[in-house]
């Protein structure tokens, strides 16, 4: 498995953990501290749970040694991050949001590009 993919899994796990735990445990305090209000605690906690699940899959991917063990995780991450970008971009282009909202979009975009790059790299290597 490539060094890029292992690093990507580790970075993703750390970021998802750092955001997922406070969203699951104290979404109102966490998001209001960032200036994000109003807060829907139910959706925020669901997002926190999803991010923690993704943390676990990235941890498992980081520990894996073969592409077959991580292929479905990489594909799911690519789909999730692309769809997150589409959903966020719809709101960003239609409204007047602060830089705070552009931050998650930029992060999801960076991860989308990285996950897709890993997939393309693997497909090229697999064919060659």
Q: What is the pLDDT of residue 23?
A: 97
Report yes or no: 45 and 13 within 8 Å, Cβ to Cβ. no
Q: What is the pLDDT of residue 38?
A: 83
Report yes or no: 22 and 30 within 8 Å, Cβ to Cβ. yes
Spans of the chain below 50 pLDDT: none
Q: What is the pLDDT of residue 81?
A: 97
Q: What is the pLDDT of residue 114?
A: 97
pLDDT tens per residue, range 35-61:
787 889 999 999 999 999 999 999 999
Report yes or no: 84 and 108 within 8 Å, Cβ to Cβ. yes
The token pair that represents 43 in the structure block:
């959706």
Domain definitions of the chain by residue range: 3-127
What is the C-alpha to C-alpha distance for residues 2 and 120, in angstroms, rounded to an integer? 13
How many residues in the chain?
A: 128
Q: What is the pLDDT of residue 128?
A: 60
């Amino acid at each position: 498995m490539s060094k890029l993919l292992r690093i990507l899994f580790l970075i993703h796990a750390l970021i998802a953990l750092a955001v997922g735990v406070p969203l699951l445990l104290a979404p109102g305090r966490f998001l209001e501290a960032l200036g994000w209000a109003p807060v829907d605690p139910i959706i925020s906690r669901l997002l926190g749970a999803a991010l923690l699940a993704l943390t676990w899959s990235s941890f498992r991917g980081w520990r894996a040694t073969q592409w077959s063990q991580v292929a479905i995780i990489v594909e799911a991450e690519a789909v999730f991050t692309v769809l997150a970008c589409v959903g966020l971009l719809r709101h960003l282009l239609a409204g007047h949001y602060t830089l705070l909202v552009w931050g998650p979009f930029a992060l999801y975009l960076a991860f989308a590009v990285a996950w897709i790059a890993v997939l393309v790299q693997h497909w090229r290597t697999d064919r060659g």
